[in-house]
A and B are shown apart, each in its own frame.
Chain A
Protein backbone atom coordinates (compact mmCIF):
# COMPACT_ATOMS: atom_id res chain seq x y z
CA UNK A 1 0.00 0.00 0.00
CA UNK A 2 1.75 3.19 -1.17
CA UNK A 3 1.86 6.06 1.25
CA UNK A 4 -0.72 8.67 0.44
CA UNK A 5 0.55 12.22 0.24
CA UNK A 6 -1.42 15.07 1.71
CA UNK A 7 -2.62 16.04 -1.76
CA UNK A 8 -4.44 12.90 -2.72
CA UNK A 9 -8.03 13.44 -1.76
CA UNK A 10 -9.59 11.02 -4.18
CA UNK A 11 -8.60 8.00 -2.17
CA UNK A 12 -9.85 9.44 1.08
CA UNK A 13 -13.34 10.30 0.03
CA UNK A 14 -15.36 7.16 0.52
CA UNK A 15 -18.98 7.43 1.49
CA UNK A 16 -19.12 4.18 3.34
CA UNK A 17 -17.89 0.98 1.81
CA UNK A 18 -19.73 -1.53 -0.30
CA UNK A 19 -18.77 -5.14 0.38
CA UNK A 20 -20.07 -7.34 -2.44
CA UNK A 21 -20.60 -10.66 -0.72
CA UNK A 22 -23.66 -11.57 -2.78
CA UNK A 23 -25.74 -12.57 0.21
CA UNK A 24 -29.55 -12.52 0.29
CA UNK A 25 -29.37 -9.28 2.22
CA UNK A 26 -27.42 -7.68 -0.61
CA UNK A 27 -30.03 -8.78 -3.12
CA UNK A 28 -32.95 -7.26 -1.24
CA UNK A 29 -34.78 -4.37 -2.84
CA UNK A 30 -33.04 -1.10 -1.84
CA UNK A 31 -36.39 0.30 -0.74
CA UNK A 32 -36.66 -2.42 1.89
CA UNK A 33 -33.18 -1.73 3.16
CA UNK A 34 -33.81 2.02 3.22
CA UNK A 35 -37.09 1.66 5.10
CA UNK A 36 -35.59 -0.72 7.65
CA UNK A 37 -32.66 1.65 8.11
CA UNK A 38 -34.94 4.65 8.69
CA UNK A 39 -37.07 2.63 11.11
CA UNK A 40 -33.93 1.61 12.96
CA UNK A 41 -32.77 5.21 13.32
CA UNK A 42 -36.18 6.36 14.51
CA UNK A 43 -36.56 3.56 17.04
CA UNK A 44 -33.02 3.89 18.40
CA UNK A 45 -33.61 7.57 19.05
CA UNK A 46 -37.06 7.09 20.55
CA UNK A 47 -36.57 4.02 22.71
CA UNK A 48 -35.93 4.60 26.38
CA UNK A 49 -35.53 0.94 27.26
CA UNK A 50 -32.09 -0.63 27.54
CA UNK A 51 -33.66 -4.03 26.98
CA UNK A 52 -35.12 -2.83 23.69
CA UNK A 53 -31.82 -1.38 22.50
CA UNK A 54 -30.05 -4.63 23.36
CA UNK A 55 -32.65 -6.46 21.25
CA UNK A 56 -31.88 -4.10 18.37
CA UNK A 57 -28.17 -4.74 18.83
CA UNK A 58 -28.79 -8.47 18.61
CA UNK A 59 -30.88 -7.99 15.48
CA UNK A 60 -28.17 -5.91 13.81
CA UNK A 61 -25.55 -8.55 14.61
CA UNK A 62 -27.83 -11.17 13.07
CA UNK A 63 -28.15 -8.92 10.03
CA UNK A 64 -24.37 -8.66 9.74
CA UNK A 65 -24.10 -12.44 9.89
CA UNK A 66 -26.81 -12.84 7.23
CA UNK A 67 -24.90 -10.46 4.97
CA UNK A 68 -21.69 -12.49 5.40
CA UNK A 69 -19.85 -9.44 6.73
CA UNK A 70 -16.83 -10.46 8.86
CA UNK A 71 -17.62 -9.32 12.39
CA UNK A 72 -14.15 -8.01 13.17
CA UNK A 73 -14.36 -5.75 10.11
CA UNK A 74 -17.71 -4.37 11.16
CA UNK A 75 -16.61 -3.79 14.74
CA UNK A 76 -13.38 -2.00 13.75
CA UNK A 77 -15.22 1.33 13.58
CA UNK A 78 -16.49 0.88 17.11
CA UNK A 79 -13.08 -0.12 18.35
CA UNK A 80 -11.50 3.19 17.31
CA UNK A 81 -14.26 5.12 19.06
CA UNK A 82 -14.11 3.12 22.29
CA UNK A 83 -12.04 5.64 24.36
CA UNK A 84 -14.25 8.58 23.28
CA UNK A 85 -17.35 6.55 23.96
CA UNK A 86 -16.26 5.70 27.48
CA UNK A 87 -15.26 9.31 28.11
CA UNK A 88 -18.65 10.62 27.06
CA UNK A 89 -20.51 7.95 28.99
CA UNK A 90 -18.52 8.94 32.07
CA UNK A 91 -19.32 12.58 31.41
CA UNK A 92 -23.02 11.78 31.26
CA UNK A 93 -22.86 9.63 34.35
CA UNK A 94 -21.00 12.10 36.52
CA UNK A 95 -21.44 15.63 35.50
CA UNK A 96 -24.94 15.90 34.10
CA UNK A 97 -27.62 16.03 36.76
CA UNK A 98 -30.46 13.80 35.67
CA UNK A 99 -33.55 15.63 36.74
CA UNK A 100 -35.48 12.68 38.05
CA UNK A 101 -37.26 13.21 41.33
CA UNK A 102 -37.22 9.59 42.44
CA UNK A 103 -33.71 8.67 41.31
CA UNK A 104 -31.79 6.91 44.05
CA UNK A 105 -28.43 8.57 44.68
CA UNK A 106 -25.68 5.95 44.72
CA UNK A 107 -22.62 8.07 45.38
CA UNK A 108 -21.90 11.69 46.06
CA UNK A 109 -18.69 13.68 46.19
CA UNK A 110 -18.55 17.48 45.98
CA UNK A 111 -20.44 18.46 42.81
CA UNK A 112 -20.43 14.98 41.30
CA UNK A 113 -23.35 12.68 41.94
CA UNK A 114 -24.19 9.32 40.49
CA UNK A 115 -27.78 8.24 40.44
CA UNK A 116 -29.10 5.02 39.01
CA UNK A 117 -30.67 7.09 36.24
CA UNK A 118 -27.36 8.63 35.27
CA UNK A 119 -25.63 5.24 35.05
CA UNK A 120 -28.47 4.06 32.86
CA UNK A 121 -28.08 7.18 30.71
CA UNK A 122 -24.38 6.45 30.27
CA UNK A 123 -24.98 2.82 29.29
CA UNK A 124 -27.80 3.86 26.96
CA UNK A 125 -25.45 6.28 25.22
CA UNK A 126 -22.95 3.51 24.49
CA UNK A 127 -25.67 1.06 23.43
CA UNK A 128 -27.46 3.54 21.15
CA UNK A 129 -24.23 4.55 19.45
CA UNK A 130 -23.22 0.92 18.88
CA UNK A 131 -26.57 0.07 17.30
CA UNK A 132 -26.37 3.15 15.06
CA UNK A 133 -22.81 2.45 13.94
CA UNK A 134 -23.40 -1.24 13.23
CA UNK A 135 -26.79 -0.65 11.64
CA UNK A 136 -25.66 2.11 9.29
CA UNK A 137 -22.46 0.22 8.49
CA UNK A 138 -24.55 -2.83 7.58
CA UNK A 139 -26.63 -0.62 5.34
CA UNK A 140 -23.60 0.84 3.58
CA UNK A 141 -21.92 -2.58 3.27
CA UNK A 142 -24.94 -4.00 1.47
CA UNK A 143 -26.15 -1.12 -0.71
CA UNK A 144 -24.41 0.59 -3.61
CA UNK A 145 -24.94 4.32 -4.11
CA UNK A 146 -26.84 3.66 -7.34
CA UNK A 147 -29.22 1.35 -5.52
CA UNK A 148 -29.55 3.98 -2.83
CA UNK A 149 -30.61 6.75 -5.21
CA UNK A 150 -33.04 4.44 -7.04
CA UNK A 151 -34.52 3.41 -3.71
CA UNK A 152 -34.92 7.02 -2.55
CA UNK A 153 -36.57 8.03 -5.82
CA UNK A 154 -39.01 5.11 -5.79
CA UNK A 155 -39.91 5.67 -2.16
CA UNK A 156 -40.55 9.38 -2.63
CA UNK A 157 -42.63 8.91 -5.77
CA UNK A 158 -46.05 8.51 -4.10
CA UNK A 159 -45.45 11.80 -2.29
CA UNK A 160 -45.00 13.55 -5.61
CA UNK A 161 -48.76 13.70 -6.01
CA UNK A 162 -48.96 15.60 -2.73
CA UNK A 163 -46.56 18.21 -4.01
CA UNK A 164 -43.19 16.96 -2.72
CA UNK A 165 -40.64 17.33 -5.53
CA UNK A 166 -39.53 13.72 -5.23
CA UNK A 167 -37.87 13.45 -8.60
CA UNK A 168 -36.02 16.72 -8.12
CA UNK A 169 -34.78 15.71 -4.66
CA UNK A 170 -33.60 12.33 -5.90
CA UNK A 171 -31.80 13.97 -8.80
CA UNK A 172 -30.14 16.45 -6.41
CA UNK A 173 -28.82 13.61 -4.26
CA UNK A 174 -27.67 11.77 -7.38
CA UNK A 175 -25.81 14.82 -8.67
CA UNK A 176 -24.22 15.41 -5.26
CA UNK A 177 -22.95 11.83 -5.04
CA UNK A 178 -21.70 11.95 -8.62
CA UNK A 179 -19.86 15.25 -8.10
CA UNK A 180 -17.92 14.33 -4.97
CA UNK A 181 -15.10 12.52 -6.80
CA UNK A 182 -14.98 15.33 -9.39
CA UNK A 183 -14.55 17.91 -6.66
CA UNK A 184 -11.95 15.76 -4.92
CA UNK A 185 -9.94 15.61 -8.14
CA UNK A 186 -10.32 19.36 -8.61
CA UNK A 187 -9.20 20.09 -5.06
CA UNK A 188 -6.15 17.90 -5.51
CA UNK A 189 -5.21 19.71 -8.69
CA UNK A 190 -5.75 23.14 -7.13
CA UNK A 191 -3.73 22.29 -4.06
CA UNK A 192 -0.82 21.00 -6.09
CA UNK A 193 -0.94 24.03 -8.36
CA UNK A 194 -0.99 26.47 -5.46
CA UNK A 195 1.70 24.58 -3.56
CA UNK A 196 3.96 24.57 -6.61
CA UNK A 197 3.61 28.34 -6.64
CA UNK A 198 4.68 28.51 -3.04
CA UNK A 199 1.34 28.83 -1.29
CA UNK A 200 1.34 27.92 2.36
CA UNK A 201 -1.91 26.42 3.52
CA UNK A 202 -3.25 26.51 7.00
CA UNK A 203 -0.29 27.80 8.90
CA UNK A 204 -0.90 31.15 10.49
CA UNK A 205 -0.77 32.81 13.83
CA UNK A 206 -4.52 33.09 14.33
CA UNK A 207 -7.56 31.56 12.71
CA UNK A 208 -8.24 34.60 10.52
CA UNK A 209 -4.80 34.26 8.99
CA UNK A 210 -5.31 30.54 8.48
CA UNK A 211 -8.65 31.14 6.80
CA UNK A 212 -7.18 33.74 4.48
CA UNK A 213 -4.43 31.30 3.57
CA UNK A 214 -7.05 28.71 2.69
CA UNK A 215 -8.95 31.11 0.44
CA UNK A 216 -6.71 30.52 -2.62
CA UNK A 217 -7.87 26.92 -2.44
CA UNK A 218 -11.49 27.34 -1.40
CA UNK A 219 -12.57 30.17 -3.68
CA UNK A 220 -11.31 28.53 -6.91
CA UNK A 221 -12.85 25.25 -5.75
CA UNK A 222 -16.26 26.84 -5.40
CA UNK A 223 -15.92 28.83 -8.62
CA UNK A 224 -14.84 25.83 -10.70
CA UNK A 225 -17.68 23.77 -9.25
CA UNK A 226 -20.20 26.52 -9.98
CA UNK A 227 -18.90 26.73 -13.53
CA UNK A 228 -19.28 22.97 -13.93
CA UNK A 229 -22.77 23.33 -12.53
CA UNK A 230 -23.51 25.94 -15.19
CA UNK A 231 -22.29 23.53 -17.88
CA UNK A 232 -24.48 20.77 -16.50
CA UNK A 233 -27.51 23.05 -16.41
CA UNK A 234 -26.96 24.08 -20.01
CA UNK A 235 -26.46 20.46 -21.06
CA UNK A 236 -29.66 19.37 -19.32
CA UNK A 237 -31.69 22.19 -20.82
CA UNK A 238 -30.20 21.57 -24.26
CA UNK A 239 -31.52 18.02 -24.01
CA UNK A 240 -34.94 19.36 -23.13
CA UNK A 241 -34.92 18.31 -19.51
CA UNK A 242 -38.30 19.42 -18.27
CA UNK A 243 -38.38 18.03 -14.76
CA UNK A 244 -40.19 15.02 -13.42
CA UNK A 245 -43.62 15.48 -14.98
CA UNK A 246 -44.68 12.46 -16.97
CA UNK A 247 -41.18 11.02 -16.84
CA UNK A 248 -40.83 7.27 -17.38
CA UNK A 249 -38.07 5.22 -15.82
CA UNK A 250 -35.54 2.73 -17.13
CA UNK A 251 -35.13 0.84 -13.88
CA UNK A 252 -38.19 -0.62 -12.22
CA UNK A 253 -37.55 -2.00 -8.77
CA UNK A 254 -39.29 -5.30 -8.16
CA UNK A 255 -40.17 -6.31 -4.63
CA UNK A 256 -39.94 -10.06 -3.96
CA UNK A 257 -41.21 -12.26 -1.17
CA UNK A 258 -37.93 -11.91 0.70
CA UNK A 259 -38.46 -8.13 0.83
CA UNK A 260 -41.91 -8.43 2.37
CA UNK A 261 -40.66 -10.96 4.89
CA UNK A 262 -37.72 -8.72 5.83
CA UNK A 263 -39.96 -5.68 6.15
CA UNK A 264 -42.53 -7.54 8.26
CA UNK A 265 -39.82 -8.91 10.55
CA UNK A 266 -38.30 -5.46 10.94
CA UNK A 267 -41.68 -3.85 11.73
CA UNK A 268 -42.45 -6.55 14.29
CA UNK A 269 -39.09 -6.04 15.96
CA UNK A 270 -39.47 -2.27 16.07
CA UNK A 271 -42.99 -2.57 17.48
CA UNK A 272 -41.65 -4.89 20.16
CA UNK A 273 -38.87 -2.44 21.06
CA UNK A 274 -41.26 0.52 21.25
CA UNK A 275 -43.62 -1.62 23.30
CA UNK A 276 -40.83 -2.47 25.74
CA UNK A 277 -39.95 1.20 25.95
CA UNK A 278 -43.48 2.42 26.66
CA UNK A 279 -44.27 -0.43 29.08
CA UNK A 280 -41.16 0.51 31.08
CA UNK A 281 -39.89 -3.03 30.76
CA UNK A 282 -36.54 -2.12 32.29
CA UNK A 283 -38.08 -1.38 35.67
CA UNK A 284 -40.19 -4.55 35.59
CA UNK A 285 -37.13 -6.64 34.76
CA UNK A 286 -35.11 -4.91 37.50
CA UNK A 287 -37.81 -5.62 40.04
CA UNK A 288 -38.03 -9.25 38.89
CA UNK A 289 -34.28 -9.71 39.16
CA UNK A 290 -34.02 -8.00 42.54
CA UNK A 291 -36.67 -10.26 44.05
CA UNK A 292 -34.82 -13.37 42.91
CA UNK A 293 -31.24 -12.30 43.66
Chain B
Protein backbone atom coordinates (compact mmCIF):
# COMPACT_ATOMS: atom_id res chain seq x y z
CA UNK B 1 0.00 0.00 0.00
CA UNK B 2 1.44 3.39 -0.95
CA UNK B 3 0.40 6.96 -0.22
CA UNK B 4 1.52 9.87 -2.37
CA UNK B 5 2.34 13.14 -0.60
CA UNK B 6 4.15 14.72 -3.53
CA UNK B 7 1.28 17.00 -4.54
CA UNK B 8 0.74 18.12 -0.95
CA UNK B 9 4.42 18.91 -0.51
CA UNK B 10 4.62 20.89 -3.75
CA UNK B 11 1.45 22.83 -2.88
CA UNK B 12 2.95 23.77 0.50
CA UNK B 13 6.16 24.96 -1.08
CA UNK B 14 4.24 26.89 -3.77
CA UNK B 15 2.19 28.59 -1.07
CA UNK B 16 5.30 29.98 0.61
CA UNK B 17 7.11 30.64 -2.65
CA UNK B 18 5.23 33.90 -3.12
CA UNK B 19 6.42 35.20 0.23
CA UNK B 20 9.81 33.56 0.75
CA UNK B 21 12.13 31.38 -1.28
CA UNK B 22 12.23 27.62 -0.77
CA UNK B 23 15.71 27.96 0.76
CA UNK B 24 14.45 30.55 3.23
CA UNK B 25 11.49 28.32 4.10
CA UNK B 26 13.76 25.42 5.03
CA UNK B 27 16.33 27.68 6.71
CA UNK B 28 13.55 29.07 8.92
CA UNK B 29 12.54 25.56 9.94
CA UNK B 30 16.21 24.77 10.63
CA UNK B 31 16.33 27.92 12.77
CA UNK B 32 13.25 26.77 14.73
CA UNK B 33 14.99 23.40 15.20
CA UNK B 34 18.09 25.23 16.47
CA UNK B 35 16.13 27.41 18.91
CA UNK B 36 14.34 24.39 20.36
CA UNK B 37 17.67 22.55 20.61
CA UNK B 38 19.28 25.50 22.43
CA UNK B 39 16.43 25.51 24.97
CA UNK B 40 16.73 21.76 25.43
CA UNK B 41 20.51 21.93 25.78
CA UNK B 42 20.26 24.67 28.42
CA UNK B 43 17.60 22.85 30.44
CA UNK B 44 19.37 19.49 30.31
CA UNK B 45 22.78 20.99 31.13
CA UNK B 46 21.35 22.78 34.19
CA UNK B 47 19.68 19.58 35.30
CA UNK B 48 22.74 17.41 34.68
CA UNK B 49 24.93 19.80 36.66
CA UNK B 50 22.37 19.86 39.48
CA UNK B 51 22.39 16.06 39.80
CA UNK B 52 26.09 15.43 39.10
CA UNK B 53 27.50 18.28 41.18
CA UNK B 54 24.77 19.37 43.60
CA UNK B 55 25.33 22.88 44.96
CA UNK B 56 26.20 23.07 48.67
CA UNK B 57 24.86 26.60 48.90
CA UNK B 58 22.07 28.12 46.79
CA UNK B 59 23.93 31.42 46.46
CA UNK B 60 27.55 31.85 45.40
CA UNK B 61 29.42 32.22 42.14
CA UNK B 62 27.91 31.76 38.71
CA UNK B 63 28.88 28.06 38.63
CA UNK B 64 27.22 27.39 42.00
CA UNK B 65 24.08 29.18 40.90
CA UNK B 66 24.12 27.25 37.61
CA UNK B 67 24.12 24.02 39.65
CA UNK B 68 21.57 25.19 42.24
CA UNK B 69 18.51 25.16 39.97
CA UNK B 70 15.33 23.31 41.06
CA UNK B 71 16.14 20.44 38.69
CA UNK B 72 12.84 18.55 39.04
CA UNK B 73 10.98 21.50 37.53
CA UNK B 74 12.79 21.00 34.23
CA UNK B 75 11.57 17.44 33.56
CA UNK B 76 8.33 18.18 31.69
CA UNK B 77 9.95 21.04 29.76
CA UNK B 78 12.80 18.75 28.70
CA UNK B 79 10.33 16.10 27.46
CA UNK B 80 8.28 18.66 25.51
CA UNK B 81 11.40 20.30 24.06
CA UNK B 82 12.93 16.93 23.08
CA UNK B 83 9.67 15.94 21.38
CA UNK B 84 9.31 19.27 19.54
CA UNK B 85 12.97 19.31 18.48
CA UNK B 86 12.57 15.72 17.30
CA UNK B 87 9.40 16.48 15.28
CA UNK B 88 10.87 19.57 13.61
CA UNK B 89 14.14 17.70 12.98
CA UNK B 90 12.20 14.81 11.44
CA UNK B 91 10.40 17.25 9.16
CA UNK B 92 13.56 18.92 7.86
CA UNK B 93 15.27 15.52 7.62
CA UNK B 94 13.26 14.82 4.45
CA UNK B 95 14.83 17.83 2.75
CA UNK B 96 18.27 16.98 4.16
CA UNK B 97 18.10 13.52 2.59
CA UNK B 98 17.76 14.94 -0.92
CA UNK B 99 19.21 18.43 -0.83
CA UNK B 100 22.07 18.09 1.65
CA UNK B 101 23.17 14.47 1.94
CA UNK B 102 23.55 13.77 -1.77
CA UNK B 103 25.86 16.79 -2.33
CA UNK B 104 27.73 15.90 0.89
CA UNK B 105 28.41 12.42 -0.48
CA UNK B 106 29.40 13.86 -3.83
CA UNK B 107 31.90 16.12 -2.06
CA UNK B 108 33.26 13.09 -0.09
CA UNK B 109 32.15 14.42 3.31
CA UNK B 110 31.62 10.84 4.48
CA UNK B 111 32.54 11.36 8.11
CA UNK B 112 30.11 14.28 8.35
CA UNK B 113 27.33 12.18 6.79
CA UNK B 114 28.16 9.23 9.04
CA UNK B 115 28.07 11.34 12.18
CA UNK B 116 24.75 12.82 11.10
CA UNK B 117 23.24 9.31 10.78
CA UNK B 118 24.75 8.54 14.19
CA UNK B 119 22.98 11.63 15.55
CA UNK B 120 19.64 10.41 14.17
CA UNK B 121 20.02 7.07 15.96
CA UNK B 122 20.96 8.87 19.19
CA UNK B 123 17.90 11.14 18.86
CA UNK B 124 15.64 8.10 18.47
CA UNK B 125 17.14 6.36 21.50
CA UNK B 126 16.84 9.55 23.56
CA UNK B 127 13.17 9.73 22.62
CA UNK B 128 12.66 6.21 23.92
CA UNK B 129 14.28 7.13 27.26
CA UNK B 130 11.87 10.00 27.95
CA UNK B 131 9.04 8.06 29.66
CA UNK B 132 11.35 6.70 32.38
CA UNK B 133 13.18 10.01 32.66
CA UNK B 134 9.87 11.87 33.24
CA UNK B 135 8.63 9.28 35.71
CA UNK B 136 11.86 9.33 37.74
CA UNK B 137 11.83 13.11 37.99
CA UNK B 138 8.14 13.26 38.86
CA UNK B 139 8.97 10.86 41.71
CA UNK B 140 12.08 12.72 42.82
CA UNK B 141 11.01 12.26 46.45
CA UNK B 142 11.58 8.50 46.06
CA UNK B 143 15.22 7.57 46.86
CA UNK B 144 14.82 4.25 44.97
CA UNK B 145 15.05 6.19 41.72
CA UNK B 146 18.00 8.46 42.66
CA UNK B 147 20.74 6.56 40.81
CA UNK B 148 18.62 5.77 37.75
CA UNK B 149 17.41 9.38 37.57
CA UNK B 150 20.98 10.71 37.73
CA UNK B 151 22.16 8.21 35.10
CA UNK B 152 19.31 8.87 32.65
CA UNK B 153 19.68 12.65 33.04
CA UNK B 154 23.43 12.52 32.40
CA UNK B 155 22.99 10.21 29.38
CA UNK B 156 20.30 12.48 27.90
CA UNK B 157 22.50 15.56 28.48
CA UNK B 158 25.47 13.84 26.79
CA UNK B 159 23.23 12.81 23.87
CA UNK B 160 21.92 16.36 23.54
CA UNK B 161 25.43 17.87 23.48
CA UNK B 162 26.58 15.30 20.92
CA UNK B 163 23.60 15.98 18.64
CA UNK B 164 23.97 19.72 19.01
CA UNK B 165 27.65 19.66 18.02
CA UNK B 166 27.09 17.26 15.09
CA UNK B 167 24.15 19.33 13.82
CA UNK B 168 26.18 22.51 14.12
CA UNK B 169 29.17 21.03 12.26
CA UNK B 170 26.88 19.65 9.54
CA UNK B 171 25.26 23.05 9.10
CA UNK B 172 28.74 24.55 8.75
CA UNK B 173 29.66 21.90 6.17
CA UNK B 174 26.51 22.44 4.14
CA UNK B 175 23.46 24.36 5.33
CA UNK B 176 20.19 24.60 3.39
CA UNK B 177 21.15 27.81 1.63
CA UNK B 178 24.58 26.61 0.47
Real binding pair: no
Report which A residues bind B (CB closer than 8 A): none
Report which B residues bind A (CB closer than 8 A): none
